[in-house]
Every structure is written in C-alpha cells, then in structure tokens.
Structure 1
C-alpha cells in the first residue's frame, strides 16, 4: 500500500495508529514485567489488558467526532470526563483480569477496590485522546496545505495560460487582410500557402500546454511559420536569420516564448522603416544555461535599467512574467542596444533536455 495514500485515508490511518499504540502499550508493559520475573501467565494478562484498552477507546472516536465542532472549553470537558469514565472501566477490567487469572480468583473485601489505580488508567486514556486529536489536527493541516497548493497550482496555470494567449490580435487581422488582398489579385497559390502556414501556427499556439515546455526545434519551427507569414506581407522588406547550435536543438524552452518578442520587432523595427530590416535569432549554450537572442536592426528604442520603453508594448513584460512563473529567479531577460543599431533581447534559462520514459 502507498504510504501517501494511507496517510490521506483517515479511516485507515486511525485503525493503524490506534492498533499500533495499544500494541506499543502491551510491548512496553511486557518489557517492564521482565524486571520482576513474573509467571508466564502474566503475558496473557498484559495482552488482555491491551485488548480491553483497544476495545474501550474505539467508542471515544465516535464521541469525539460528534463534539469536534464544539468550543475548545466544551471539548476539553468532554475529553476529561470521557477519558476518566473509560479509564475507570478499563481499570476494573484490568483488576479483574489480574485477580481472576494471576491471583486464582482473589476477591477484594470491598467492591470499590476494583477501581483502585484508576488515576493511572485515566492518564493512559487521556494520552490516547491527545494522540487522537493530534492525529486528526495533523490530517486537517495536511488537507488544508494540499488545498492551498492545489489552489496555487490552478492560479499558476491560469496565469500562464492568460500570459500565453496574449497574442496581438492585429497579427491575425493583418494576416487575414493580406490573404484577402492576395485572393483579389489572383495570387491564389501564395494565399493558399499563407492560409496553410497560418492554420499550422494557430494550431501550434493553441495545442501546446503553457505549463509544459517544448523542444527548441519545435519552437523555432513555429517562429519560422510566424515570420514566413509576415514575410508575405512585407516581402523583401523583412529578412530573417536563424542560427542554432546543434546541441541546443533538443533543449526544452517555454512554448511561444520568442513570438511576442519577434512581434515587437516586426512592429517597431520592420514596419516603421521604409527599407524594412533584419531579424536575427541566435541560440547557444553556455555551461548549464541556454541562451536565446533575438535582435533587429531597427531604429532602436529607449532602454533604461534593462527595460524597453515602447508605447503599448506588452511582449517583453509577457515573456518576463512567463519565465518568472516557470523558473522562479533562475532566468534573466536583458534588453540592450544592438550594434550598429536596433534592439537585442537576450534570454538565459536552465539548459534542460526532454527525458524519455
């Protein structure tokens, strides 16, 4: 049986702890009895007493369930009274076992003697009650902790999905408008190719789970689809270069991590210049880090403390938040001026490979 499954099952955990505690009680008393060199029959009495304690404390579980939502003061009163009554009853049984079996039918002069040493039994039952409440509170805390973790996980996933799907709607509108124009001028072959690439790109962006990572090959393929679509719009005004080291092509990266950055370059570096420009994507590995770099040769932008200041620009903020959600503090996203002109965005993240199971 899985231990985690056992601990999460309250009923199984109760019977396990309940039985183990009384077995431990019997074992301790047996080891203690060896110091006094009793007759062998004393072992039977020890385990009969432990069994009686095991049996008498079971009803306490159902009593404590009923008073669980009472105020702490009322619960304390119920626990003390119930523990004392069960302790007295248990002590009577223990005395009968001892006198009837070990003392060969001994009878005390006064019936009240059957309850002698009840204080000791009361403290044993009170300890059992403490163990019960402690175990139950532990289970509650674990359940609450699990609920908090699940809630955080759900919120985390929702945040990533929200960030991942913040694609610029203008890209879709511009692409559809370009396709419509191509059809009007009877460039059906180019329009058909553009539709095919658009559908493949959208399928990729919607199918990939934002909580999971994809290989760099897959990510670069999606980015090429996006840039190929844009090249139909900008024609010779857009040039694209891809340089990826061979040992990086199977590395894992967040899906759609480069597309918002490329979209910014299209908007601010290519579309803003009559002559267009070049977008260069470079991927290398340094020690245990994967380095992704996307640079353009546009007019540049204002950069302060590694932050890019552009009106209505959300691509970099989107990418930075996704990286923080996936890698915590183990990443960097740096914006710098490109040489001789333009903007360069460099991303560092852990170098990870897909594990085949």
Structure 2
C-alpha cells in the first residue's frame, strides 16, 4: 500500500518524464523543420550551418526550461498577472535566445550578422517562444481536463457503488422483514387449528358422555374432513374469499352437529368480494368466537350472519350474531376471555396489510355483537352482483 508521500512522488516523477519527453521531442522537431526549410535551402552541404541548426535548438531547450520555471509559477496567479508575467518572460527568453543564436552563428560560420538583421532574428525567436508558451498552456489545460474528468468519473463510480450497496442493504432489509412477517403470520396461522381442535374434541367428549354416539360419529367424520382440507391448504398464507367461505362451510357443518337448530347461518356476499384476497382461515376465529359467546350462552336460536362487499376499493366484511350480548365486554375481560380469536385476526390482518386495516367491534340492535373488517381489496373487479347463501 503506497503512502500519500509515495503517491505524490510517483505523480511528480511522471510529470517530469512527460515534460522532458515533450521538450526533447518539440525542439528536435524544430531542428528538423529548420534544417529542411532553411538550412538545406540557404546553405546546402555546409556542416557549419547544420551544426548551428542543431546547436540553436539545444540552446532553445535550455532557455525554454528557464522560461518554464516562470510560466509554471504564473499558473496559480490571476489572469491579468499571468498575461503580464508570461509576456515579459517570453520577450526576455526570445531576446536571450536571439543573442545566443547570433553569437553561435558568427562563431561557427565566421559570417557577420548586421544590426539591421537583428529584428528578423528577434521576431522569429519571439514567434518560437510564444508558440512554446501556447503549447505549454494547451498541454496543462488538457491534463487538467483529464484529471477533472477522472475525478468526476471516480465520483460517479463511488456514487454508483454506494447506491449499489444501499440497494443491496435495502434488499436484505426488505427480505429480512418479509421473512419476519411471513414467520409471524405462519405462527398466528398455526395457532388456529389447535384452538379449534380443542373446542371440537371437547364437544365430541360432551356428545359421548351424553350418549349421542351418532352425533359424535358424524362430528368426528366432519372434523376429519375439515382437518384434511386444512392440511391441503395449510401452506397458503392468502387465498380468495371464495376459498375462505368454502373452508368456513366445513367448519359450520361441524358446529351444526353440535348445536343443531340453535345455529342459523346467513351469507350475503357480492360476486366481486368473493374474488378478493384474504389471509387464509381469517373467518373461522370470528365465527368460533360467536359460537362461544352467542350460541353457547343461550338455548334460543342464534343467527350468525356474514356480509361482504367491495366499497371504494376496500373489502368490507361483517360477521354478526343475534346472541344475548347487550354491551361490549370490557377490555380486561376481553383480553382473557376471547383467547386468540379477535386478537389473532387483527394481528394477521396487520401482518398482511400493515396499517391499512380497520377492525371494529360493536353491539347489534337490540342485542348481539358484530365485527366489521375493512381492508384493501386486491384481486377483484368492480361488480355489485349479490349472491345469497
């Protein structure tokens, strides 16, 4: 793992190599261009002129390196200061290189350069060094653009990685929540059958002790049918209200053996509501609760009524009885007497629909209780056809 100082050293060395590579390549190219365009044309075959062409390029490299020190420091200054400093430095560098070119030309060739020709030499030097400063700034801006683009690209990559990690964490969290909700729903779901089985076998025991073997046998047969259907659909956490009513019919067949004519049932369900999706075995605890606290507390016939319809995109289900109850049980009594019935239903509904659940318990007029459930209607079409059962 490189330290920050090592990284900076590596970058600095890279910039130095790039700078000197461009310097050598640029002045070598200038020497070749001068040789081909001027030396061969004006002094063909003269070794001294060719030597001067190479020497002036070498001197230009040295002078431009000094100019580089000034221009590099001017980079961080304001634009007006950069302009003034670069202009002055370019003029001085051009004058120095002009004098070096003239002196070396006279020394190598023995020819005299007249003062009247100094202007042309100086002008050419100015053009060369102005071009050098332009190329330096172009390369510097290009490198800066590459660095900026790389930083932007790296920031985008980091943002994408962060987004991917956040998405992955979100998926993990949602998966965990989903597994938790499913496990919780299954635990509530599996509470129902033991509770029902206890009550049903208790009823069979009463029938046996009363000597009514026929009813006991019929009830055991229907319990077996109900439990077989329960096992076949036990893995389903949700199904249609139509399937739920079919399971409810099996349960009520068992209870009718127990209560006989004391139990009257009425269903009023719209065709649209039959297609609505509900948690499986959601109605049985409501009817089981009514059996215990309505039918079981009076010898008079009690009507249990199921109503279901779709209203404003919501499934409204009402289970009511005409039992002897005339007031709502207090909460402390309800918490211990109703067992898992109503609480189980509400907890399972909230596990599926979260807070989009309304469940109300009220007293019927003149007596009896009614439980009303309102949840989002899923898997249904808008229709109002009524079916009486």
Query: So what's the TM-score if we normalise by structure 1?
Result: 0.62
> Is the partner of 2:328 in helix, strand or coil?
strand
Tell me the matched-pair count.
276
> Is the partner of 1:303 in helix, strand or coil?
coil
- In the TM superposition, what is the alpha-carbon distance from 1:101 to its structure 2 partner? 9.6
Root mean square deviation, CA, Å: 4.2
Matched with 1:207 is 235
Q: Which consecutive unaligned segments of at least 5 residues does structure 2 have? A: 32-57, 73-135, 382-389
Partner Cα separation in structure 2 for residue 294 and residue 349 of structure 1: 14
Partner Cα separation in structure 2 for residue 284 and residue 325 of structure 1: 22
Partner Cα separation in structure 1 for residue 18 and residue 163 of structure 2: 32
- The aligned runs of 1:199-238 (5 Å cut-off) are 199-203=227-231, 206-209=234-237, 213-238=238-263
Q: 1:2-51 deviations in whole A, cap 9, x for unaligned?
A: xxxxxxxxxxxxxxxxxxxxxxxxxxxxxxxxxxxxxxxxxxxxxxxxxx
Maintained 8 Å contact 2:241/2:274: yes
Which residue of 313, 317, 322 maps to 1:288? 313
Maintained 8 Å contact 1:83/1:122: no
**Change over 3 Å in CA distance of 1:331–1:173 after alignment to 2:** closer
Q: 1:67-97 deviations in whole A, cap 9, x for unaligned?
A: 9xxxxxxxxx65x864773586378559858
- In the TM superposition, what is the alpha-carbon distance from 1:295 to its structure 2 partner? 0.5
Partner Cα separation in structure 2 for residue 102 and residue 196 of structure 1: 102
- In the TM superposition, what is the alpha-carbon distance from 1:343 to its structure 2 partner? 0.1
**Change over 3 Å in CA distance of 1:89–1:201 after alignment to 2:** same
**Change over 3 Å in CA distance of 1:285–1:87 after alignment to 2:** farther
Matched with 2:225 is 197
Partner Cα separation in structure 1 for residue 9 and residue 160 of structure 2: 21
**Change over 3 Å in CA distance of 1:241–1:125 after alignment to 2:** closer
Q: 1:97-126 deviations in whole A, cap 9, x for unaligned?
A: 89859985999559998x984983666655
Matched with 1:252 is 277
Q: Which consecutive unaligned segments of at least 5 residues does structure 1 have? A: 1-62, 68-76
- The aligned runs of 1:153-172 (5 Å cut-off) are 153-167=178-192, 169-172=194-197
Partner Cα separation in structure 1 for residue 170 and residue 20 of structure 2: 46
Matched with 1:38 is none
Maintained 8 Å contact 1:307/1:335: no
Structure having the higher Rg = 2
- The aligned runs of 1:8-27 (5 Å cut-off) are none
Matched with 1:351 is 377
Say if 2:14 is the partner of 1:89. yes
Q: 1:156-215 deviations in whole A, cap 9, x for unaligned?
A: 222222222221634202323555756986538625631443223422552312xxx321
Maintained 8 Å contact 1:283/1:291: yes
Partner Cα separation in structure 1 for residue 8 and residue 169 of structure 2: 29
Matched with 2:358 is 332
Query: So what's the TM-score if we normalise by structure 2?
Result: 0.57
Q: 1:215-243 deviations in whole A, cap 9, x for unaligned?
A: 12101111111121122222222222212
> Is the partner of 1:163 in helix, strand or coil?
helix
Maintained 8 Å contact 1:244/1:284: yes
Maintained 8 Å contact 1:86/1:122: no
**Change over 3 Å in CA distance of 1:174–1:141 after alignment to 2:** closer
**Segment of structure 1 superposing worse, 255-264 or 233-242:** 233-242
> Is the partner of 2:192 in helix, strand or coil?
coil
Which residue of 264, 275, 300 maps to 1:239? 264
Where is the helix percentage greater, Structure 1 or Structure 2?
2
Maintained 8 Å contact 2:267/2:307: yes
- The aligned runs of 1:165-184 (5 Å cut-off) are 165-167=190-192, 169-178=194-203
